[in-house]
Structure 1
C-alpha cells in the first residue's frame, strides 16, 4: 500500500516529495516541540529545496484546518457514537485530541502542502 512513488508515502512518512529517500524534518519525533517544524533546507539525496519561496508553508495553515476537522470528527465519532458519551464529554475529547495531536497535525499539513506542488521523480532515485 505505502510504496515509494506514491504521494501518500511521502505525506505519511515525511520523506522528500521528489525522491522519497530522506526525512524532510531535522528530527523524526514530532513531539520534540522545539524541533517539530524544523526542516532541512534541502534533501541530502536529490538536493530538492523544501522552502520553495519565503513563507511557503503559510499555506499549510489552510490544510491544517481540514486535517484538524478530520481529527475532530474521528474523536467525535469515537466518543459520541461508539462510546455513547454525552455531548460535553465528546467536546472535551475533541479538545484533548486536537491538543494531543497538534504536532502530528502540523507536520501532516506541511507534508500535504509540499506534496501539492512537488511529485516523485523516479529518475532522481535511479541516478543516485
Structure 2
C-alpha cells in the first residue's frame, strides 16, 4: 500500500509540474511573436495580412469585423470555434489541420513550450476598447 501511495504522489507531482509549465512565459512569448508580426498586429486593432490578435484568447474565430476571413474560418466561428488556450495550441501547431481550408500561410510552431509561451503572451494583450 505504501508503494502505491508513493507512486500516486509522484504522479501528482509530475502532473502538477506539467500543468505549471503549460502556462508558458509571456516574455519568451513576446519574442516568439516576431514570427507572427509580419502578418498580425498586437498593439493596435488594425488588420494586416491577418487579423489583429488583441484579445484573441477567448474570442470567437473569424470575428474581427474588418478582416476578410476565409470561408473555412468564418464557418469554424459560426460553428462555435472559440480561441481557447487549447484551440489556439492546436491551431498554432498545425493551422491547416485545425481549420482545414484556412488561408493562414503558416506551417505552425512545432515546440509545445514555444506555443505555450506565445499563448501566455497573447493572454496579456487585452481586446481593443
TM-score (norm 2): 0.26
TM-score (norm 1): 0.26
